[in-house]
Amino acid sequence: MNIIDHLSLGAPCIDKAAAFYDGLLESLNIQCLAKSDGFVAYGKDSIQFLLIKPENQQAPSAGNGTHIAFSANSQEAVDNFHAYAIANGGECAGEPGPRESYPIPDVYTTFVRDPFGNKLEAIFNGFNKL
């Protein structure tokens, strides 16, 4: 069993969030599994990641020092994730490539920010391979 059931990020507009994340996560073979006016949910076999409108009606905000890392099955998938993000309103927060400072060998990763400021990572040979 995974230690985390699911993760969610706040989004001010679900349609705008879905427009960005549908293609971004498709580059990692992650599909949209459910959508409503208040959320859009993604996963492979089950929902593991959601974008939601905050229930308190306050504006969502990105956390400083917080990011979500998505597993990639190849370096090419990491590159595609980065390219899609940049071409669709995201911004680079770390070019694709190896990270010698990581405590695992052969890691290949990239960081981007979504249109709402959330920091995302796509990682190949990441921590879950241990």
Confidence of residue 1 (pLDDT cuts 50, 70, 90): low
Residue 101: the pLDDT is: 85
Q: SS3 breakdown of the chain: % helix, strand, coil, rounded to 5?
A: 20, 35, 45
Distance CA(48)–CA(8), nearest Å, equals: 8
Residue 130: the pLDDT is: 52
- Model confidence pLDDT, tens digit, residues 16-69: 999 999 999 999 999 999 999 999 999 999 999 999 998 888 999 888 888 999
Q: Which amino acid is at 126?
A: G
CA angle 59, 61, 63 (to 5 degrees): 160
CA 76 to chain centroid: 16
The CATH number corresponding to 7-54+67-129 among 3.10.180.10, 3.40.630.40, 3.40.640.10, 3.40.50.880 equals: 3.10.180.10
pTM attached to this predicted model: 0.87
Each domain of the chain, given as residue ranges in start order, spans 7-54+67-129
CB atoms within 10 A of CB 73: 11
| Helix 75-87 with 14-26: angle, nearest 10 deg | 150
Owner of token pair 């969502």: 60
Residue 110: the pLDDT is: 98
C-alpha dist (Å) from residue 96 to 40, 111, 122 = 27, 7, 9
